[in-house]
């Protein structure tokens, strides 16, 4: 795990930065008719918080939003209703998260770019974590935000469960940030069911993945109860 020196200043002037925010899912586990990226947190859609975090971080990436094709008009209306003016590019979602990321990547031609991939449904990411992930990936090729397990861990194989070393277990979040040539090469691979995040796609090339520290509050809104938790955390953040 790499030390997150949040006070260090790096020069970003010679590179190009992009954020691909994937919001192409249907949110089946949320059991809501409206996909969870559009649900309201304290009156504002989840996706708007996420875009604001990237817009407000000091790296100032270009922002690409991947949305199901059927929801582009709905999103544009939401932007009008909430007077949401942050500039962003819209791309169609794909069949899985992998295909959605790929659609976003197709928009980026810059071979020297640094690209952060982020779940639209993680609206609580710190600005400093976003900025650090860009800076770390710029220097080391990739940066994956993760937190150490706080619970004891057991692995179940067939019917036998075994304790694992908790200190060796990390829970992976987003953003996951990469130099563009590496990420584009990785996403030229055929889709595999065990590609659950961008790190697993890049790792399949034989590349070493670097974890950087995240926050336990960077939750992914997945189940109905996560909405109440996110609203509470947002209220705490604003005080
Ligand atoms: N085809 C897909 C599937 C997922 N995502 C995005 O990937 C992120 C993480 O995925 P997940 O939480 O699984 O979202 P859903 O697929 O929407 O939820 P579920 O698995 O419960 O259906 C979300 O921001 C989601 O919108 C995407 O862009 N395109
Ligand atoms: C990318 C991710 O959020 C990292 O934890 C996670 O793998 C997404 O998983 P999901 O099954 O698509 O929610």
Ligand 1 contact, 67 CB (< 6 A): no
* Strands 153-157 and 160-164, sheet pairing: antiparallel
- Separation of alpha carbons 18 and 224, rounded Å: 30
First to last CA, the chain: 30
Question: pTM for the complete prediction?
Answer: 0.94
Pocket of ligand 2 (CB under 6 A): 97, 119, 172-174, 196-197, 220
- Kindly list the domain boundaries of the chain, sorted by start residue: 16-237
> With a 6 A CB cut-off, is 121 part of the ligand 1 pocket?
yes
CATH architecture observed for domain 16-237: Alpha-Beta Complex (3.90)
Closest residue to atom 4 of ligand 2, CA basis: 173
Helix (H, G, I), strand (E, B) or coil at 179: strand
Decide if 111 contacts 14 (C-beta within 8 A).
no
On whether the CB atoms of residues 81 and 160 are closer than 8 A, the answer is no
User: From the first residue on, what is the mean pLDDT of each consecutive set of 10 residues in the chain (239 residues)?
Assistant: 36 68 97 97 98 96 97 98 97 98 96 96 98 98 98 97 97 98 98 98 98 98 98 92
pLDDT, position 15? 52
How far is the C-alpha of 213 from the C-alpha of 215, rounded, in Å?
A: 7
* pLDDT (0 to 100) of residue 96: 98
Q: Do 149 and 166 meet the contact criterion of CB atoms below 8 Å apart?
A: yes
């Amino acid at each position: 795990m790499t030390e997150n020196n949040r006070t260090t200043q790096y020069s970003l002037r010679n590179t190009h930065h992009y954020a691909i925010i994937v919001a192409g899912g249907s949110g089946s586990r949320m059991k809501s008719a409206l996909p969870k990226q559009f649900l309201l947190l304290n009156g504002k859609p989840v996706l708007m918080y996420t875009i604001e975090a990237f817009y407000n971080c000091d790296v100032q990436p270009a922002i690409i939003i991947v949305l199901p094709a059927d929801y582009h008009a709905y999103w544009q209306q939401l932007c009008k209703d909430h007077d949401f003016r942050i500039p962003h590019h819209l791309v169609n979602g794909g069949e899985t998260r992998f295909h959605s990321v790929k659609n976003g990547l197709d928009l980026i031609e810059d071979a020297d770019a640094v690209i952060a991939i982020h779940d639209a449904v993680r609206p609580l990411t710190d600005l400093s974590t976003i900025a650090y992930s860009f800076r770390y990936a710029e220097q080391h090729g990739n940066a994956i935000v993760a937190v150490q397990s706080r619970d004891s861990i057991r692995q179940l194989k067939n019917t036998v469960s075994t304790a694992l070393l908790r200190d060796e277990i990390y829970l992976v979040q987003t953003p996951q940030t990469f130099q563009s040539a590496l990420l584009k090469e990785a996403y030229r691979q055929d889709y595999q069911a065990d590609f659950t995040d961008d790190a697993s796609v890049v790792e399949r090339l034989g590349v070493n993945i670097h974890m950087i520290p995240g926050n336990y509050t960077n939750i992914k809104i997945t189940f109905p109860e996560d909405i109440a938790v996110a609203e509470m955390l947002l209220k705490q953040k604003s005080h």
